Amino acid sequence: MAYCYYFTNPIANISRMKSYIVRHILLLAAVVPGIIAWAQDGTTAYEFLQITPSAHVYGLGGHNIALIDDDINLVEQNPALLGPEFNKQVGVNYMKYIGSTNFMGLRYGQGLTEHSALAVGIQYYGYGSMTEADASGAILGSFNASDINFNVTYSHDISENARGGITLKYLYSKYGDYSAGAIAADLGINFYNPDNELSLSVVAKNLGGQVKKFDGTYDSKDHLPWDIQIGFSKIMGTSPFRLSITAYNLRKWSLPYYEPEDKNNVNSDLIKKENFGSNLMRHLVLGLEFLPTSNVWVGMGYNHKTRTDMSTYQRNFFSGISLGAGMKVKSFGFNVAFAQPHTGATTFMLNLTTSLGELLK
């Protein structure tokens, strides 16, 4: 859905831009110390933040910050995709993930003014029951593990074709008797030209850090998976096809992976794979959609990092490939997506959106 921009007063426009810039400077001043403190190499926690709740995005490779559509679930990818056109829209999502893992969430959007909007959401990640054991390996019973993401998003039109947004998140993790919490922020900007259906975005994701540790101490595994992403999406000429390219993990160029030296021997030693081409491709997610009408889409995505993260014995033809489709019927939107990251995991995602304003008419 195109942006709804109606700027007629240049002085008011400049005032809005100044106010918007000041707000972003203040927020950056708050989170930059956190970025410096936590932006070290090492294993991160809260990796669930990298799993999108949007079936449209998941069907196009799992990352897409520039997709323009009438779907409030897309706001999770980029706060600048929120706008007053999502007034009173509700989005729900469900994902059957690996093993007994189930994810679900809810998001609601509200237009504030002609040029600003607010959205609130909650995302639940349940990992099912797990066996509990002590340091000696003795079984003590079982425990449940889960993560919850509470979030609030605000967006504002910067100019006729540009919009900025901020998402603030409180993250709560509960693993058995242990719990932890973190605060994070996403900052996004989107430029959209409706004349040629061109969308460009830049997003800084998951800036912040923990406020409550599992064991009360800090270590390298407490880092949030913060990231810088750049996205492009465009209708290809007059055709019914839309191409999307998203560059992610941009805070680090080198992304090596490992393959067995002997692909016919499961116990073979692993060898490191890294060159310019593989590093470039492991930063990109490609998505292609067929849009026969304004209310229907069918698409597929390719994520090279997902594919190469799986060794020869863990992947199949579908590893790194995802498929999705969606349609809108009256005030309801339906999106589904399917992927099989490795041989032992088939994932399925379902989204539903509706406009309460249209339903109550």
Residues sharing a CB contact under 8 Å with residue 32, sequence separation 6 or more, in sequence order: none
> What pLDDT tens digit does each residue of the chain (361 aa) get?
445 433 334 444 444 544 544 444 344 444 444 433 333 344 467 889 999 999 999 999 999 999 999 999 999 999 999 999 999 999 999 998 877 789 999 999 999 999 999 999 999 999 888 777 777 777 878 888 899 999 999 999 999 999 999 999 999 999 888 889 999 999 999 999 999 999 999 999 999 988 888 776 555 456 789 999 999 999 999 999 999 999 999 999 999 888 887 776 667 778 888 899 999 999 999 999 999 999 999 999 999 998 888 876 677 778 889 999 999 998 899 999 999 877 777 889 999 999 987 776 6
Nearest Cα to Cα of residue 238 among 296, 298, 291, 161: 291
Residues sharing a CB contact under 8 Å with residue 138, sequence separation 6 or more, in sequence order: none
pLDDT of residue 36: 36
Return the residue matching tokens 């106010």: 19
Would strands 139-157 and 257-260 be described as parallel, antiparallel, or unpaired?
A: unpaired
Return the residue matching tokens 């889409």: 297
Cα 323 from Cα 63, distance rounded (Å): 13
Would strands 102-113 and 89-96 be described as parallel, antiparallel, or unpaired?
A: antiparallel
Q: Are 64 and 57 in contact (CB under 8 A)?
A: yes
Q: Are 139 and 132 in contact (CB under 8 A)?
A: yes
The residue type at 98: I
Phi-psi label, residue 249: left if phi above 0, alpha if psi -120 to 50, beta otherwise? left
Cα 326 from Cα 70, distance rounded (Å): 11
pLDDT of residue 284: 96
pLDDT of residue 44: 63
